[in-house]
Structure 1
Amino acid sequence: MDAVRAVAEPRRREILRLVWDAELSAGEIAERFDVTFGAVSQHLKVLRDSGLVTLRQEGKKRFYRADREAMGPLADYLQSMWAAKLDTLAELAEAAERVERGGPGHSEGASP
């Protein structure tokens, strides 16, 4: 499977995001999902076979990390996509905080 088709699946994109800056064990990755370890393991295999993650084995543990260099331009696209989502989340959090403080858009004191 090519890299673009591999990242088309939302769980695989989330796995990539998790291992973007840090190496995680398969178990640590699986803990973050509401599917079986086997399902996460299959996603990891697709990512590995597509060259999107590297695998390091230490004893019985398997550790995964995004291989940004191998991704080429896809790495920039994924990073910008996650940054845009974080920007949106930050804007929503700031808006909620303004409402809690009684800032613009707050209707406290308005007549019914």
Structure 2
Amino acid sequence: VCLGHQCIGQIYGGDVVRAPEIMHGKTSLIEHTGVGVFTGLPNPFEATRYHSLVVQRDTMPDVLEITAQTADGLVMGLRHREFDVEGVQFHPESILTAGGHQLVGNFLDRCR
């Protein structure tokens, strides 16, 4: 979540840069691919964002795939193509994130 998502992007070769707009306690519609932690979630869904940095889309390494984004193309979800590594930029634990409990549940199901 958030910083962890950014770390995944950075570790595998992406750049973490300043977001075009600081998003602290603001919501956005998130479009997703329906895989991994996004399984069964509405598409799009509203999520709460608390960040000023993002993984820059055009520096995304081939080993990572983008699994979620905002309407304007900012990366909101990514996952490794081979390893069970996945991150989200927004905050699923926030009360303003629709389907946040389901997203966390999807993650926990993978840990069992």
Give the TM-score, by structure 2 length: 0.30
Larger Rg: 1
Q: Counting strand residues as a fraction of each chain, which structure ranks higher?
A: 2
As a proportion of its length, which structure holds more helix? 1
